[in-house]
């Protein structure tokens, strides 16, 4: 039973991403959307470290159109995080047994 976790709140403002990463299991996918995409920007930030630490077990994805809206280039995201479009979002939803939103 794999799960797609979606997070839509900024990890700098709320604990949604931390809580999500603490509960996601190996084989799960985490997708950052809306304001959560600000956490995907590479750099020596607390959030970038948390994403890297989670990645051996989970795959981490970020929604491209939301990145672009916030002025973050696709090549400026944390290494290992994949940028997906809306079609990729659908694929992630389809390839996991269920999805769970962290609001």
Partner 1 sequence: MSDTKRFLYVNRKAPHGTVYALESLEVVLIGAAFEQDVSLAFLDDGVFQLVKKQVTTGIGVKNFAPTYRALGDYDVKKLYVERESLAERGLTEDDLMEVTHENDDEEDVSSIEIVDRARMAQIMAAQDVVLSF
Which residues of this protein are in contact with partner 1, per CB under 8 A?
Answer: 8-10, 12-13, 34-36, 38, 41-46, 48, 64-66, 68-73
CB closer to partner 1 out of 24 and 48: 48
Q: Tell me how far, at minimum, the Cβ of 19 lies from partner 1, in Å.
A: 18
CB closer to partner 1 out of 11 and 96: 11
In angstroms, the CA 22 to CA 103 distance is 15
Beta bridge partners of 32: 7, 62
Q: Tell me how far, at minimum, the Cβ of 1 lies from partner 1, in Å.
A: 30
User: Which residues contact residue 15 at a Cβ distance below 8 angstroms, ignoring those fewer than 6 apart?
Assistant: none
Q: Tell me how far, at minimum, the Cβ of 65 lies from partner 1, in Å.
A: 3
User: Which residues contact residue 12 at a Cβ distance below 8 angstroms, ignoring those fewer than 6 apart?
Assistant: 38, 39, 47
CB closer to partner 1 out of 29 and 84: 84
CB closer to partner 1 out of 42 and 93: 42
Q: How many helices (H) and strands (E) does the chain have?
A: 4, 5
């Amino acid at each position: 039973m794999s799960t797609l976790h979606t997070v839509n709140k900024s990890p700098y403002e709320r604990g949604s991403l931390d809580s999500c990463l603490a509960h996601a299991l190996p084989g799960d996918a985490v997708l950052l959307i809306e304001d959560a995409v600000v956490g995907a920007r590479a750099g020596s930030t607390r959030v970038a470290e948390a994403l890297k630490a989670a990645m051996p077990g989970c795959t981490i994805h970020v929604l491209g159109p939301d990145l672009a809206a916030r002025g973050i280039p696709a090549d400026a995201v944390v290494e290992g995080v994949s940028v997906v479009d809306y079609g990729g979002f659908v694929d992630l939803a389809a390839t996991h047994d269920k999805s769970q939103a962290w609001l």
